[in-house]
Amino acid sequence: MNRIEIKGTNLVIKSDADQWMICKVTTRKVKKERQQVDEAFKYYPTLESCVKGLGRYLLNTGDATTIDELVSAAGKISMMLSQNFTASAQVKIK
């Protein structure tokens, strides 16, 4: 299983043999101990579709209130995803 931490967020991308998942990292009480767990909430067939879905999720759950803020947030998210996954590739959110 792959687990990719997304810097600056409480999110990770994980995979199993069949799919890619966006997960929130939370703390839960497990057998009287607090442990970090990854709770999957979005599922994708490929890594590429998962990264694009993550970008859309971050943009849709942001706090932009104007079109200028939204455009700025999209640029920042694209840059952050590009830095997390490869220094040379630009991830475009459509």
Q: What's at 82, amino acid-wise?
A: S
In a domain, residue 93? The reply is no
**Confidence category of residue 92, pLDDT binned at 50, 70, 90:** low
Residue 41 included in any domain = yes
Domain of residue 8: give its range.
2-85
Count of domains forming the chain: 1
90 is a domain residue: no
Specify the pLDDT at position 31: 82
The yes-or-no verdict on residue 91 having pLDDT over 60 is no
In a domain, 64, yes or no: yes
Domain for residue 42, yes or no?
A: yes
Cβ pair 53, 23 in contact under 8 A:
no
Beta bridge partners of 34: 29
pLDDT (tens digit per residue) in 32-90: 889 999 999 999 999 989 999 999 999 999 999 999 999 999 999 988 888 777 644 44
In a domain, 43, yes or no: yes
User: In sequence order, which residues have a C-beta less than 8 Å from that of residue 92 and are 6 or more positions away?
Assistant: 78
Domain membership flag for residue 37: yes
Q: Give the residue carrying structure tokens 């839960």.
A: 28
